[in-house]
Amino acid sequence: MGGPAAHRPPAYPYFLAGLYKLTGDSALSARYAQAFLGAVAVGLIGLLAWRIWGARVGLIALVLAAVFPPLIISSTTLISEALVVPLVVASIVTACEARRSRHALVWLSASGALAGLVALTRPNGFLLLVPVAIAAWTTQAGGGGG
């Protein structure tokens, strides 16, 4: 007993370790980084809504995400959700983009890689691989590959 243990997936601790290596052992720098990740998540939510439902809905989604309390709070506390949310939304955005693009394989690869990072960030993150796999299968079946 007493040796290395894996109670949590490693991506978030590695994220913090890299950040602390760059900035010193500063919780404030981690909060700034998480605030930046929150802004990225908000932008990705707006982008996703825009690509699916159009510019007006995208703007509404962007504004609603910007004032959504859980997204705001996740920037103030050092928790893995600050990293998970933009990764999940980015994985979904790239999977959706694969259906529109002539380069579906590139987008699906990016989506799978992002879903893999989610799995390395949260214990239940591997579940995102299921819809990504469905997106890959339906995109290829629909002739969107290439």
Summarised one tens digit per residue, pLDDT across range 37-94 is: 999 999 999 999 999 999 999 999 999 999 999 888 877 888 999 999 999 999 999 9
**Which of 120, 146, 143, 113 has the alpha carbon at shortest distance from 132?**
113
Contacts of 25 (CB under 8 A, 6+ apart): none
Q: How confident is the model at residue 7 (pLDDT cuts 50, 70, 90)?
A: confident
How many angstroms from the chain centroid is the CA of residue 24?
25
pTM for the model = 0.87
| Residue 18 tokens, joined | 């890299």
